[in-house]
Structure 1
Amino acid sequence: MTSPASELITLDADGVLTLPVSTADNGTALDHDLILAGTRALLEVTRGVREAGAILLTGTGKNFCAGGNVARFAAADDRGEYLRGLADDLHYFIKVLYQTRVPVVAAVSGWAAGAGMSLVLHADIAIGGTGTRLRPAYPGIGLSPDGGMSWALPRTVGAARARHIIMTDQILDAQRALDLGILAEVVDDADVASTAQATAATLAAGPRGSFAAVRDLVHASAGRTLTDQMDAESASIAGLSVTSEGVEGVDAFLAKRAPDFRGVR
């Protein structure tokens, strides 16, 4: 039976799988049901049940995601057990997000706080608006990060700067987030959703094997030596050169035409 959360998840004709992470309910807090439904959809991608060429993370309210639902934290009979369950479910969502090997775009309208900021950090391309704001938020309620923030933020801005941002609970405006490399592009607030959608559609139409390899190489690079990374690059580029997309890309270049990656899948 389809759940209400599942009905908000869409896969369009371009191959863009849209996964909302919050709604206008509860002040655009992270929606647990959406995270569970999103995980199920991502697992279908990894199993080949859904064929997605790009994933779009978004919110359906005025904010991308204002963080966890603190009121529910406080109301839980056992806060520790409740928060552990929420964190584990969010972390499984993120693990499967990486396992899809599909490019991830985030449409970051309004606030991305707490777990919302964590999710932005896992996007390959995060599009923000001039009014976008990001904030760790955890120290403000006496908690520590989840959602992989303590892993992703140091890899984006450096360990010292990550500690500073999280411990002082900095509010990062759009320009600061762009300068730090957290946001890839900043557009007018009214254009965030359409720009992110167009970016995801462009990726979905592109060379999916190439994008999957780029994600794999970049994500693995932090744990490899230069020699090991170059060995991985050699194996990857050689393998892609004999795929249908690799052949099409080279042939199109030589013929001075635009490659048709969609047509050779």
Structure 2
Amino acid sequence: MNDSVKLHVCNQVATITLNRPQQGNAIDLPMAQALLKAVITCDQHASVSSVVLTGSGKLFCAGGDLDAFVAAGDGIAGFLSELAGTLHLAVSRLMRMEKPLVVLVNGPAAGAGMSLSLVGDIVLAEASASFTPAYGAIGLSPDGGLSWLLPRLVGLRRAQEIILLNQRVSAEQAQVTGLITRVVNEGQLWAEGVEVAQRLATMNVSALGRVRQLLLETHGTSLESQLEQEARSISALASQPYVRDKVAAFVAQRTHKNKKEVSHG
């Protein structure tokens, strides 16, 4: 893994940091490859129970590295196919892994950076953050899953307006429209984000993974199919020792509480 993406694990929380601050964390091919490697590590390692994704410096991510686009010259089509393909593997893994994902948007997110900012289960943003599709400004269409994510978060009509008109969405507007979870006070992004990630890390990872999968498939599944998947999921989880211990502890606590109430009645 190169220095353009940093991975740190502490107390079962893995933090992936986009780390090209001088370039606004713009994504070139080595960075996309490093991001994919970091995501695979988080997905596969049992020591990781939740994941945080953020950027270093003043921007979350400026999107694709336009200098790399220019450097590709006449081979830009093949270059973008490889770049987008690599990024898409990372996005898919982030969204389909068991571990819950908290995204901390520390500043403007544009293009593929906007796509990355929206993949989290919980998305927190500083007031200075903003979200801009940016693709239209250089005559391109979205990548990174933006055309899939945005309509599901804000509705088709609003998504059409944002992408086609290349609208910049402020952090406050993003919260109101459901694009992000919430805006946090200045200087509190990291503390609040880690607190959320640590809380998630204490939960049953298998259950969180099942929830992520169920929610991800909602829009393409009938009610009956969703009910069937819910039934399969809850029954499979119920056989885990973790769940059985939790249920037994809850029942014991409730029984103890009821006895105390009777004795003081």
Cα distance 1:32–1:192, how it changes in 2: closer, same or farther (>3 A)?
farther
> What letter is aligned with 2:59?
N
Distance of 1:32 and 1:203 partners within structure 2: 31
CA contact (8 A) 1:117 1:135 kept: yes
Q: In structure 2, what is the equivalent of residue 246 of structure 1? A: 243
Over aligned residue pairs, what C-alpha RMSD do you find?
1.8
Q: Is structure 2 residue 27 aligned with structure 1 residue 30?
A: yes
Q: How does 1:140-219 map to 2 (within 5 A)?
A: 140-219=137-216
Give the aligned length: 253
Kindly state the Cα deviation for residue 124 of structure 1 after the two structures are TM-superposed. Answer: 0.6
Q: Which aligned pairs between 1:9-24 and structure 2 lie closer than 5 A?
A: 9-12=7-10, 14-24=11-21
SS of 2:54's equivalent in the other structure is: strand
Gaps of 5+ in 2: 255-265
Structure 1 contact 130–187 (Cα < 8 Å) conserved: yes
Unaligned runs of at least 5 residues, structure 1: 258-265
* Cα gap change, 1:236 to 1:50, in 2 (>3 Å): closer
Q: How far did residue 5 of structure 1 move?
A: 4.1
* Residues in 2 aligned to 1:243 and 1:112: alpha-carbon distance in whole angstroms: 40
The answer on whether the counterparts of 1:128 and 1:186 sit within 8 Å (CA) in structure 2 is yes
Letter in 1 for 2:68: R
Shift of residue 31, structure 1, vs aligned partner = 5.1
Pairing 1:56-71 to 2, within 5 Å after superposition: 56-71=52-67
Whole-angstrom distance in 2 between the partners of 1:22 and 1:10: 13
Counterparts of 1:89-128 in structure 2, within 5 Å, are 89-128=86-125
The structure that has the greater radius of gyration is 2
Cα deviation, residue 216, structure 1: 0.7
TM-score (norm 2): 0.89
Q: 1:22-80 CA deviation, whole Å, 9 max, x = no partner?
A: 4212133235434322322332344x445311111110111111211112212222221
1:98–1:231 Cα change, 3 Å = same
For 1:68 and 1:256, locate their aligned partners in 2 and report how far apart those are by CA, in whole Å.
Answer: 54
Name the counterpart of 1:4: 3
Scaled by the length of structure 1, the TM-score of the pair is 0.89
Q: What is the identity, as a one-letter code, of the residue corresponding to 1:11?
A: V
